A and B are shown apart, each in its own frame.
Chain A
Amino acid sequence: MHSMLLLGDLGSFFNGLANGIISWQFLQFVVAFLSFFGFVLTSATILVLAERKVIAWMQDRIGPYHTGPGGSLQSVADVVKLLLKEDIHAGNTDKGLFLFAPAVFLAPVIAAFAVLPFSPYIGLPGSALATGIVYLVAMSSLDVVGVVMAGWASNNKYSLIGGLRSAAQMISYELPLVLALIGVIMLTSVLDPHGSGVGTISVKGVMGFQMSTLYPGKGIPFWDFIFEGFTPWSWFFLVQPLMLIIYYTCGLAETNRPPFDLPEAESELVAGYLTEYSGMRWAMFFLGEYGNMTIVSAIATMLFLGGWSGPGVAFLTGLNSLGWGFLGNMLALGYFVAKVYGLCFVFIWVRATLPRLRSDQLMQYAWLILIPTTLINILVTGALYLILNAFGFSNLIFLIVLGVINWIMLYFFIRIVGRATVATTRRAQAPAMRARQRAIALELPGRSAAPQLPEPTSTNADIVASAQ
């Protein structure tokens, strides 16, 4: 009796499972998942090629141009080579950690895309997650685990040092990254139309607050088409530009991109955590890095640049027809990808331009400069809102005043950091100079006089005189 009941339960269980799998929802999920997976990895390979071409263009050269028309198939050739490469395992490594580390590095990057809406209707179910921003920050924190695993499992003391240094760098820059985002999230609590004053940390929500209903020509279809949903004056980068810059800089440090690429540098002495990896495992680390670049750009786009909003999107999707809605979604996807790749271009641009920071300078920059700045910004935002609200000013006034103050802060941030750098190095030179002079005086007791140059047989005056 019992066994027959059990069998029946089992049967109905499998029946239900089969019904679930062979259903539209599951198919939708699989398609969406595969396309996102494909998007991330394809985007990473495209970025590899784009980086080489863009950096070559900035350096007055061409970049890869043999494989495919204009070099466009270079990434394909790279992937094929890496797949066919011999998978070298160093001896005596911690096998499990060694093999698992690239996956641990790559997985959070792909997982982070789950909460990003690519357009009003294109997005994994996770994009409705109410705690989207916390999820994104958590995913970027998981990368550190992969790095430490790689450094430890390589059985190479230099890799270990490099891995730990990289982990320290990534952890240090997490804090200003999150604090920069808090400045933006504070704005959503102000702009909340229901007046609950709590705001939102879902990505869709923050993006939604950047689409205001105030635009010129409301009611006229042409202007409706362009401006409905696309109000660049309410994008948060105008209100808090300093936070965009700081978030972007922390993103550079999180992804180990120049000028923070000390762990990956080949001309530095200590080998990085990547030394023992070859072939596809190394490629997974790099796909993770470029994927991370895309994630940072995507988050910056969502929170500061209005996400997928652009002329025509909200109008077309508001028409409630299948064809126009599809066109609107495609437009939104196009705008989103354009903005993300624009920010990735800035990543590449920064790589071509700047030299590397030393590791202690890197740490000082994070702890002594970025964290105080972001904390001050949070303070200023909150204080300004309280003051202006007490005087009864509207939210619009608050945003404008905050924007002005933030742009002024940005200007002074750039000036002061530059001056502080120069001043501290010059001032710091003096004790070293004095110490060296003292050392010389102590070390050379036998010398009665300091060494002298030989007598010059002529000076410029003689030369000029003799040439007359």
Chain B
Amino acid sequence: MVTNQNPGVRPGLGESPDGLKSQEMLLNLGPQHPSTHGVLRLVMTLEGETVVNCTPVIGYLHRGIEKILENRTVMAGIRYLDNCDYLSPMLNEAAYAGAVEQLMGIEPPRRAQYIRLLTCELQRIASHLVGIGTYLLDLGASTPVLWAFRDREGILSLFEALGGSRFNVNYMRVGGVLHDFPKGWLDECSAFLDQLEKNMAEMEGLITGNEIFEARTQGVGYIDQQQAIAYGLTGPMLRASGVNWDLRVNRPYGSYREVPVNVVVRQEGDCFARYKVRIDEIYESIRLCRVAIDKMPGGAICTRTPIALRPPRGETYFAIESSKGELGIYFISDGSEYPWRAKVRGPSFVNLQILPELLRGHKMSDVIAIMGSTDIVLGEVDR
């Protein structure tokens, strides 16, 4: 089974050697489509079955989150970050809270930082489970997505017990977190992690060695190392192309300054490598959760801050390693309780920009495989 990418293809009316002109066809992979992972619209120019050019059209999920943030106090505004990358709300909130803490010079208590690490790693597992499950669903296997969602239910129940809501938890605060663990939560979390490891082994047994899956993802959608850096990719897309860059290690924040992370890097750069990076990151996150449970310090869970928080005049950029890549908040404050500007650097927005380059020369059937492997979330792209 060979890869059938033709990377030398360039846009323009094709002319075959005997002078026959072929016409290009415009195909709209519309905003409503089962495999665009949200409301992404791809306007593709096809020559026969080969993609010659592709223009992503975004904005179908734009809700004006950054503008709304300018009219909310910081504490009221944290909940809007849940809707950005709606598959990893805890990570988004941690970024926003961290940006304001960085501007104000507040250091959350150690217990709060470990709680943040634990919840953020659990959220990363949940996000990767969705990414892997839906990727397999696009490729035609209907079972892994249901197993992945069953495991994700465990995480969501834990979040419900912790923060009151399964999904958009509104749990992080400037200075720490909102609630402490309920009685028995840590034991439940450990039991869940043990069960998750068994379930992950079962799911990997179904997918990773599967020849059909390998034939559809290996050699498809290759991203060169230099190209990945040039396009500003971050997260699993960058690490699958051989670049060892993880913000938790290279620009550590919070408890990551005390807990080392084994960065998962693969050299192949194709869709299979990206899938494998996400699977291995799940295992790594399980390990980090166990470390956090072991080393959980006692103490306060939040620094006392006034409800109407007034950050000092100034601006700051704070980035965390989200499940999709580098999630950064550029926060400008004018001294009042409302932010002047809160810009969200969504990793999916930047990762999306390589799509035209990546899809060029591939056949139509590979488009689905490549798009699923980029694991973009439109909430982060459009905000």
Task: Name A residues whose Cβ lies closer than 8 Å to a Cβ of B.
Answer: 55, 58-61, 258-259, 261-262, 265-270, 351-361, 364-365, 417-418, 421-422, 424-426, 428-429, 432-433, 435-437, 439-440, 450-453, 456-460, 463-464, 466-467
- Map CB proximity to A onto B123-155 as digits: 1 under 8 Å, 0 otherwise: 000000000000011111111001100100000
Closest A residue to B364 using CB positions:
A269
Closest to A447 in B: B230
A60 & B214 in contact (Cβ 8 Å cutoff): no
Q: How far is the CA of A365 from the CA of B216 in the complex (A)?
A: 13
Min CB–CB distance A38 → chain B (angstroms)? 31
Q: Scoring B residues 204 to 223 as 1 if CB is less than 8 Å from chain A, else 0, what string do you get?
A: 00100011111110110010
A-B pairs with beta carbons under 8 Å apart, 26 shown: A261-B140, A267-B368, A269-B364, A353-B143, A355-B210, A355-B212, A356-B140, A356-B212, A357-B216, A358-B366, A360-B363, A364-B1, A365-B1, A417-B211, A422-B211, A422-B214, A425-B214, A429-B3, A432-B3, A440-B227, A450-B229, A457-B252, A458-B251, A460-B260, A460-B261, A463-B259
List B contacts of A417 (CB < 8 A).
Answer: 211
B5 to A, closest residue via Cβ: A432
Partner of B368 from the list A259, A268, A459 (CB cut-off 8 Å) is: A268
Contact A463 B222 (CB under 8 A): no
Q: Are A421 and B1 in contact (CB under 8 A)?
A: yes
Do the beta carbons of B258 and A418 come within 8 Å of each other?
no
Q: Which B residues from 232 to 256 make CB contacts under 8 A with A? A: 243, 245, 249-252, 256
Contact A421 B139 (CB under 8 A): no
Q: Is B270 interfacial (CB-CB < 8 Å)? A: yes
Nearest Cβ on chain A to B127's Cβ, whole angstroms: 21
List B1-31 residues whose CB lies under 8 Å from chain A: 1-5, 7-8, 27, 29
- Check B3–A267 contact: CB distance below 8 A: no
Is residue B313 within 8 Å, beta carbon to beta carbon, of the partner chain? no
Q: How many angstroms between the C-alpha atoms of A269 and B250 in the bound complex?
A: 41
- Kindly provide the distance from the CB of A313 to the nearest chain B CB, expressed in whole angstroms: 38
Which one of B213, B243, B268 contacts A355 once the chains associate, using CB atoms below 8 Å?
A: B213
Nearest B residue to A55 via CB reads B142
Q: Which of B136, B224, B226, B270 has the most CB of A within 10 A?
A: B226
Q: Are A433 and B222 in contact (CB under 8 A)?
A: yes
Q: Which A residue's beta carbon lies closest to that of B248?
A: A463
- Residue in B7, B140, B146 with the greatest tally of chain A CB atoms within 10 Å: B140
Q: Write the residues of chain B forming the contact surface with A, with a CB cutoff of 8 angstroms.
A: 1-5, 7-8, 27, 29, 33-35, 136-143, 146-147, 150, 206, 210-216, 218-219, 222, 224, 226-227, 229-230, 243, 245, 249-252, 256-263, 268-270, 363-368
Are the CB atoms of B218 and A352 closer together than 8 Å?
Answer: no
Q: How far is the CA of A456 from the CA of B251 in the complex (A)?
A: 6
> Known contacts A354-B141, A456-B249: does B215 contact A451 (CB below 8 Å)?
no
Query: How far apart sit A459 and B212, CA to CA, in the bound complex (Å)?
Result: 38
In the complex, what's the smallest C-beta–C-beta distance from B328 to chain A, in angstroms?
13
Q: Are A436 and B227 in contact (CB under 8 A)?
A: yes
Residue of B nearest to A455 (CB): B250
Nearest opposing residue in chain A for B270, CB measure: A429
- Chain B residues lying within 8 Å of A266, measured Cβ to Cβ, are 34
Asked if B206 contacts A353 (CB within 8 A), the reply is: yes
Complex Cα gap A425–B271 (Å): 12
Minimum Cβ distance to chain B for residue A432 (Å): 5
Q: Which 10 A-B pairs have the closest CB atoms?
A: A356-B140, A456-B250, A425-B218, A429-B219, A355-B141, A59-B146, A355-B139, A467-B258, A428-B2, A355-B140
Q: How far is the CA of A418 from the CA of B212 in the complex (A)?
A: 9
Partner of A435, one of B7, B137, B219: B7
**Apart from A55-B143, A357-B212, A365-B1, 13 more pairs, CB < 8 Å:** A353-B141, A355-B212, A356-B216, A358-B215, A358-B216, A361-B216, A417-B211, A422-B218, A424-B1, A429-B219, A440-B226, A450-B229, A460-B261
Whether the Cβ atoms of A464 and B260 lie closer than 8 Å is yes
Residues of B near A351 (CB, < 8 A) are: 142
A418 to B211, CA, bound (A): 6
A268 to B224, CA, bound (A): 27
Are the CB atoms of A60 and B34 closer together than 8 Å?
no
Q: What is the minimal beta-carbon distance from B91 to any residue of chain A, in angstroms?
A: 20
B365 to A, closest residue via Cβ:
A358
Given contacts A460-B261, A467-B258, contact A433 B139 (CB under 8 A): no
Please judge, given known A-B contacts A59-B143, A352-B143, A458-B250, whether A463 and B224 are in contact too, CB under 8 Å.
no
Residues of A within 8 A of B260 (CB): 460, 463-464, 467
Query: Least Cβ distance of A264 to chain B in Å?
Result: 10
Asked if B249 and A453 make an inter-chain contact with CB atoms under 8 angstroms apart, the answer reads: no
**CA–CA, A349 and B178, complex, Å:** 47
Q: Does A269 contact B27, Cβ atoms closer than 8 Å?
A: yes
Q: Are A60 and B150 in contact (CB under 8 A)?
A: yes
Separation of A453 and B269 alpha carbons in the complex (Å) = 17
Are A270 and B364 in contact, CB atoms less than 8 angstroms apart?
Answer: yes
Name which residue of chain A comes closest to B3, CB basis: A428
Q: Which residues of A contact B252 (CB under 8 A)?
A: 457-458, 463
B259 touches A61 (CB 8 A): no
Of the candidates B1, B139, B227, the one whose C-beta lies within 8 Å of that of A361 is B1
Assembly CA distance A358 to B367 (angstroms): 11
**Nearest chain-A residue to B137 (Cβ)?**
A267
CB of B256 within 8 A of CB of A463, answer yes
**For the complex, what is the distance from the CA of A329 to the CA of B156, rounded to whole Å?**
56
Shortest B287–chain A CB gap in Å is 14
- Cα distance, A352 to B187, chains bound together (Å): 34
Docked Cα-Cα span, A59 to B23, in Å, equals 45
In the complex, which residues of chain A have a beta carbon less than 8 angstroms from the beta carbon of B270?
429
Chain B residues within 8 Å of A270, by CB: 364
Q: Is the CB of A436 within 8 A of B29?
A: no
CB-based contact A359/B365 at 8 Å: yes
**CB pair A421 B215 closer than 8 Å:** yes
Give complex CA distance A464, B257 in Å: 8
Give the residue name and chain of the A residue nearest to B10 (CB). A439
Nearest CB in chain A: distance from B252 CB, A: 6
Bound CA–CA A419/B325 (angstroms)? 34
The answer for the CA separation of A87 and B298 in the assembled complex, in Å, is: 68
Residue of A nearest to B223 (CB): A436
Bound: A364/B263 CA distance, A:
38
Chain A residues near B245 (CB, 8 Å)?
A: 453, 456
Complex Cα–Cα for A460 and B7 (A): 38
Question: How far in angstroms is the closest Cβ of chain A from B12?
Answer: 16
In the complex, how many angstroms separate the beta carbon of A445 from the nearest chain B beta carbon?
Answer: 14
Contacts of B218 in A (CB 8 A): 422, 425-426, 429
Measured CA separation A464–B29 after assembly (Å): 48
CB contact under 8 A between A439 and B7, given known A353-B143, A355-B212, A429-B219: yes
Q: How far is the CB of B216 from chain A (nearest CB, A)?
A: 6
List B contacts of A60 (CB < 8 A). Answer: 146-147, 150
Complex contacts, B263 vs chain A, CB 8 Å: 460
Give the docked Cα–Cα distance between A259 and B263 (Å).
Answer: 35
**Nearest-neighbor residue (CB-CB) of A262 within chain B:** B365
Report the Cα distance A353→B363, complex, angstroms. Answer: 25
In the complex, what distance in Å separates the CA atom of A59 from the CA atom of B212?
20
Find the A residue at minimum CB distance from B224.
Answer: A436
Closest to A426 in B: B218
Known A421-B211, A439-B7; contact A428-B219, beta-carbon cutoff 8 A: yes
Of B4, B224, B259, the residue contacting A467 (CB under 8 A) is B259
Which residues of chain A have C-beta atoms less than 8 A from B138's C-beta? 267
Q: How far is the CA of A450 from the CA of B227 in the complex (A)?
A: 9
Bound: A358/B49 CA distance, A: 13
B226 A451 Cβ-Cβ under 8 A: yes
B250-A421 in contact (CB<8A): no
How far apart are B257's CB and chain A's nearest CB, in angstroms? Answer: 6
